[in-house]
Homo-oligomer: A and B are copies of this chain.
Amino acid sequence: MAANGCIRIKLYMNHQVISKEEIALAHERIRRFIHRTPVLRSSFLDNLTGAELFFKPENFQKIGAFKARGGLNALLSLSTEELLHGVTTHSSGNHAQAIAFAAAMVGAKAYIVMPENSPKVKIKAVEGYGAEITFCINSQEERERAVQEIILRTGAAFVHPFNNYHVIAGQATASKELFEDVGKSLDVVIAPVGGGGLLAGTALGAHYFSPETSVYAGEPEGAADAILSFKSGNIEKAPYVKTIADGLLTTLGDKTFPVIRAHVTDILAVSDEEITQAMRYLWERMKIVVEPSGAVSLAAVLKNSALFSGKRVGIILSGGNVDLGNLPF
């Protein structure tokens, strides 16, 4: 007991910078702006895996992905003074929409840096929320330089897509809802991992609201930085980056990685073929539009069904923003 107490205290010192109360507060803050996404079941996929699967379809979330949660919590955590200067970020994907949407909700100006080759549908969506878009060449350096210029010019607050405690606390509300809505306790919850915002949030959600639940992650083989980092104990880069799951290309951050190390049981690699098969099941059998990144958790469960068979498994489907003109099937 004493030893356990010690370990727990040490974990809290090192990694538990986000408290249970902060996640509950995040949920209260964002509740009126987001969808409480339902829990979906599929007898076909239950039979296929031998598990009881409980899907949390965040593809139905505002802006089509869980990122609306973290973006909103981050903006609602800023002071009125800070919000007066607006917010800024760089993203070609769901985070751009999340910040543009959240800014519209709280009445702040959003300055979004987007690579000039971003999909038109995403540019239109960001414009639709009234954000000011700055286009740049698609390199990390150019994106960051453009954001720096905006900050100097406007005083806008920068909101990182995942390496931000308010963002992580916001993402934690997805698994919190899942635990509340399934009713019975889950043996496992699984989320995809890119930068680790959703996974760290899911892990903290389980830690505080369903401590009997083990946390797993799915990661594309073609962006396997988190698996490497999880093994080595240091934040590593992926050996190569080439995957259909274009929302999971980024490397873990120093705020997400410690939470993941402390609370995640394992990270499971899946190939693009396995992601595409999982996506096809979600579309054909469950009739829901899920993007490749969003199908990674199911792909990991399908691939490792021996591990999950007989268990009650929560599966977080992260998003559904996909170009219908460019499908893998």
Residue positions of A touching B, CB distance < 8 A: 38, 40, 57, 59-60, 64, 121, 280, 283-284, 286-290, 320, 324-325, 327, 329
Contacts and interface: CB of A to CB of B under 8 A. Distances in A.
Contacts of A289: 283-284, 287-289
Nearest to A286: B60
B121 A287 contact: no
Nearest to A290: B287
Contacts of A280: 324
10 contacts: A38-B38, A60-B286, A121-B284, A283-B289, A283-B324, A287-B288, A287-B289, A287-B290, A287-B320, A325-B329
Contacts of A283: 289, 324
A262 B329 CA distance: 45
Contacts of A286: 60
Contacts of A325: 329
Looking at A60, A287, A290, A320, the one whose CB has the most chain B CB atoms below 10 A away is A287
B287 A59 contact: yes
A118 B311 CA distance: 37
A327 B283 CA distance: 13
Nearest to A41: B35
Contacts of A59: 287
Contacts of A40: 60
A113 to B, nearest CB: 24
B287 A64 contact: yes
A121 B57 CA distance: 25
A285 to B, nearest CB: 8
A173 to B, nearest CB: 19
A287 to B, nearest CB: 4
A290 B286 CA distance: 11
Nearest to A128: B44
A43 to B, nearest CB: 8
A37 B320 CA distance: 20
A294 to B, nearest CB: 10
Nearest to A61: B287
Contacts of A64: 287
Contacts of A290: 287
Given A64-B287, A287-B64, A287-B288, A329 B324 contact: yes
Given A40-B60, A57-B287, A287-B289, 4 more contacts: A38-B38, A59-B287, A288-B289, A324-B329
A320 B280 CA distance: 13
A284 B38 CA distance: 18
A288 B284 CA distance: 11
Nearest to A38: B38
A241 to B, nearest CB: 26
Contacts of A324: 280, 283-284, 327, 329
